[in-house]
Amino acid sequence: MANFSLEGKIALVTGASYGIGLAIASGFAKAGATVVFNDINQDLVNKGLAAYEAEGIKAHGYVCDVTNEDQVNAVIAQIEKEVGVIDILVNNAGIIKRIPMHEMKAAEFRQVIDIDLNGPFIMAKAVLPSMMKQNSGKIINICSMMSELGRETVSAYAAAKGGLKMLTRNIASEYGEYNIQCNGLGPGYIATPQTAPLREPQADGSRHPFDQFIIAKTPAARWGNPEDLVGPAVFLASEASNFVNGHVLYVDGGILAYIGKQP
């Protein structure tokens, strides 16, 4: 259907050198969009450019720290000059620190909040004026199930993602009249380099205890793949979602709907 097409659109995906960001940006390119991405240093940008080229995608990569407002404003201006006005922003860049809360330093907590919550605020703020001017735009925030659930060792991440869920709703509320839709994508447990330590086999060859836990708690009985997020992301980036605003679409294999098997 034509309303799922991204032909003629320019999509910026933050932190999209690998993993979920790379999968979403590649999906956008296959749906017709021009892909722009950033990362924190030139090595990661080069890694991303090589990955897109291997898939036959011409991507535009920029070095930018999403927590640095001056850098972000300069890069957005550069992208608008060199590529064009951004139609779609995906706030994908993020980190997690798995540390028990009583052992976590305030500086570590602030770093997670800065990248995972302040970064999306700064990025959205930078693209909104041009979106308002053209009376259209899509902002997709990668929220996570941890905007709904708590778990040991992820206090900062859960706080950031919960805040990002509410920022998503507020952007939708404040800018919907400009035909700008802001929605969240909430991945479940996805097999990426970030989650690789949780899936490493034990010395005896058995599954990692956390791996076993996730398989048992997921009706799909598997981890998600980055590709599982592509269809939902394309939907939220396309005209098909023009009346969907302030929503978080959870792509979690059913975890949030499931109480778990009786022992």
Q: How far is CA 245 from CA 48, 80, 94, 183, in A?
A: 30, 25, 23, 6
3-state secondary structure of 22: helix
Confirm whether 175 is a catalytic residue.
Answer: no
Contact between residue 236 and residue 249 where contact means Cβ atoms under 8 Å apart: yes
Contact between residue 248 and residue 165 where contact means Cβ atoms under 8 Å apart: yes
Of the listed 18, 52, 62, 157, which one is catalytic? Answer: 157
Contact between residue 149 and residue 164 where contact means Cβ atoms under 8 Å apart: no
Contact between residue 246 and residue 174 where contact means Cβ atoms under 8 Å apart: no
Contact between residue 186 and residue 143 where contact means Cβ atoms under 8 Å apart: yes
**C-alpha span between 36 and 11 (Å, rounded):** 6
Q: Exposed, middle or buried by CB within 10 Å (0-12, 13-18, 19+), for 205?
A: exposed
Q: Which residues are catalytic?
A: 157
